[in-house]
Chain A
Amino acid sequence: MSLTFTPETEKILQDIWSRYPEGRKRSAVIPMLMYAQDQLGVVTSELVAEVAKRCEVSPLQVEEVVGYYSMLNKKRMGKHHVQVCTNIACLLMGGEALWHHATKRLGIGHKEVTADGLISLEEVECAGACSWAPCVVDGYEYHHHVTIEKLDQLIDSIQKVH
């Protein structure tokens, strides 16, 4: 069974694939998984098999990559995947408190999803925004100098839209 992607995703995948020379297709494994996960919301076994086929590696080798990288998820995350940084800069600026607040308010922990499937949380290491610590990332969207209030507003806004 071969997986069908939306035309847009398929286009991106083929574009990524075409950038790598023959015999080096395995280098496309990570970007392909990332983009496909964006569309599917999760890395499924079928996706693993499909990427393996296109990149000429074994499904197990793709699984190794999925297991290694925390940003690739074999469990479906929420519509909004909210990542709270608690690495050193953010920790000093209150990131830990943000993390505790978020888990308490939503009643979920690390890599867990709210019952309605709307929000998932992840405690992440440095998100690369130390200058504007503490930082929270919603999907690909960065929020800087986050306070408890700002975090609440973010969660409110997510919940209101849906």
Chain B
Amino acid sequence: MSTPVTAPPTIINFTVDGRQLSAPPGTLLIDACKRSGIEIPAFCYYEGYSLQAACRMCLVEVEKMPKLQTACTLPVMEGMIVRSETEQIAKARKGTLEFLLTNHPLDCPVCDKGGECELQDMVFRYGAGESRFTEMKNHAPERQWSPVVFYDPARCILCYRCVRACNEGMGVGALGVTNRGVLSEIAPNKEDHLDCDECGACIDICPVGALTSNIYRYKTRPWEMQHVATVCTHCSNGCKTTLGVRNDEIIRGNNRDRGGINGEFLCVKGRYGFDFTASEERLTTPMIRIDGKLEAVSWSKALGFVAEKFKSVQADGGKFGVIADTRLTNEELFYLQKFTRAGLKTSNLDHAASGDLITLLDALSGQTDALATTDDLYKTKAALVIGSDLSQQHPLLAFQLRAGVRHNKTRIYTVTPGPVREAKYSATSVTVPLGEEYDALAKLTDRLKAEKELVILFGDSIKGQRVRDLVAWAATLGIPVKYVCLVDDSNSRGALDMGCLPNLLPGFQVDPHPGLSQAGMLAAEDLDVLWIVGANPLRHAPLASRKAFVVAHTMFLDETAARADVLFPSASAYEKSGTLTNVTGQVQRLKAAIKTMGAKADLEIIGLIAKEMGLAPTLGPWTHDIVFKEIHSGVHGYNVPLPVLLTGGAALTSPVNGPVKVNVLVDEIRSAGDTLFTSGSLGRHSKLLTSVPEFPGALYQR
């Protein structure tokens, strides 16, 4: 193919402060400068959101243009000569600041934003400490809009960032601007309060301390905290979160370096749902049931007791069952499956399955590059969501699609059992009862054939044969299709990959001696030992075996603990190291943020039981880095580049490509249906999550 002679320019050359720069056409001057390390101050401009040009901080000199120009709205032009810091510019910026400060209170000494406030930084840089304005400051009282959000109009500089973040980023539109001129202020959607996602994106993006969170306000100063970059423990999306920690207490969550797969996105659970770690109901000591009553005992006693019991049951040829939580680390899951298979010599091992990835991999056998990443969701031209209330169940994935709609004109199609937020900006939204999705898909076929590519995200109603039907139907579209099999929790995907399954070994290798599934174990009347590592299966189903000796690792005295004979207090994800694999197969590293008295990481508890049983030589060391090495070299798809992981990035695993011939227990695949505000027992023990008026919420409402 020959190139036409007058092709539009693919690169624009221009000069800033004497430096020759270039950028693709359409790039805003402010972005082009930033990419070359030249900072142009901005309050209202925010990468990724619509342009506002409300603050005039970004003024620069452009040759041949009579007045100072706003760099945030000016696209780069060929031959343009720009100066970003001159006396004239400094004077203009100082003037802007003087205006902003006319009504701004002198709150810096008590303001949450002190030390990381963009207004403070700018005044520090340009002066404007003195004002010619001697009139009374216009004051309006601070208000609380929700258990999360506080607004102080006096501090607000009306940059509209919050309004755009809520409207465009979240798709909620709960914030607006009311009144005019000096009386303008931000208004919530319900007159005096908010009805929203409570995500705190507005608070995070506010350049000043006008929006503050109830969780963090007046608690500390940013320089008094340690900032620990780790991964959210709640849903399967795997957002990176930076926990602000002081004295072993988590005080704040955000994504300070914007470095993760989520940029700075976090939902209410990731940003504020960490307070379960400090719940008074945390179990802090091992317990043994003595005469029907749970009594606190020492670690050595509990470990010894369990090891003895395990050994004697094993010697008698008894029946074990092991259930793993879907929030354990890959290392814990891997070590646990090894313990179960090599130590306890059984494959009665399972987790709460929430999506049918197994059938999907089998159906896709022979196709490469067929699973989508979080980045693909942003870049794809079209996406089809089947059977999931994405904005509630998979907030980051929904956020990625919304960003794609704004930036790349992504076309979204939804086929769901009830109304979803995506309908607001989708190409087509169809509501059909569960199980009737395929009739709706048939009607969409022609329109989807016209798309260039498609990412299909499907929930738990598509499983077994229905997954095969979906893949077969998608093949008829004649376009490249990628998939996301939606699963629930922060390491639901890891539980599959690490072989915490009765019929699959790590890396989706068929287990020659399949064992009992979770339902099978709970129903087995002759079960001798049920070892529950973190999960709470007895919340939903009874345990049939009256004689079973139940060992549970847990944070709280939940339904499972009520039936347990021995309890081990376990550490949460925020208290341990290891790796997690998110719904799109990206591995990330957890970093312990705090220590909690009494609790131990599950890996350590499992390892100590192994040691007591004399299994340590068979199972090997139980430190997470050594176990990770084993996973890295031994589990299919986990041979990921280590520097990516070690620097806090997300390393993409490669799925097995080949048949996975097992009998998938389709009936046991069920999403827990957590909403934006629930998260199993973690959510029930978060004061914040249970206090928002939107709690617990319901799926398919809007």
Interface residues of A (CB under 8 A from B): 45, 58-61, 63-64, 66-68, 70
Contacts and interface: CB of A to CB of B under 8 A. Distances in A.
Q: Which of B175, B188, B189 has the most CB of A within 10 A?
A: B189
B179 interface: yes
A70 to B, nearest CB: 8
A144 B542 CA distance: 86
Interface in B136-175: 173-175
Interface of B: 173-180, 187-189, 191
A68 B176 contact: no
B180 A63 contact: no
A60 B180 contact: no
B187 A60 contact: yes
Given A60-B173, A60-B174, A67 B179 contact: yes
A45 B173 CA distance: 18
A63 B179 contact: no
Contacts of A64: 176-178, 187
Contacts of B179: 67-68
Given A58-B173, A60-B173, A68 B189 contact: no
Contacts of B187: 60, 63-64, 67
B182 to A, nearest CB: 13
Given A59-B189, A68-B179, 14 more contacts: A58-B173, A60-B173, A60-B174, A60-B175, A60-B188, A63-B176, A63-B178, A63-B187, A64-B177, A66-B178, A67-B178, A67-B179, A67-B180, A70-B180
A125 to B, nearest CB: 12
A111 B677 CA distance: 43
Nearest to A69: B180
B264 to A, nearest CB: 24
B76 to A, nearest CB: 32
A61 B176 contact: yes
A64 to B, nearest CB: 4
Contacts of A63: 176, 178, 187
6 contacts: A60-B176, A60-B188, A63-B176, A63-B178, A63-B187, A64-B178
B184 to A, nearest CB: 8
A61 B173 CA distance: 9
Contacts of A60: 173-176, 187-189
A58 B167 CA distance: 11
Given A60-B187, A63-B187, A68 B173 contact: no
Nearest to B173: A58
Contacts of B189: 58-60
Q: Which of B176, B180, B189 has the most CB of A within 10 A?
A: B176
Nearest to B178: A67
A139 to B, nearest CB: 23
A67 B183 CA distance: 10
A108 B180 CA distance: 23
Nearest to A62: B176
Nearest to A67: B178
A36 B133 CA distance: 42
A58 B196 CA distance: 13
Nearest to A66: B178
A74 to B, nearest CB: 10
Contacts of B191: 45
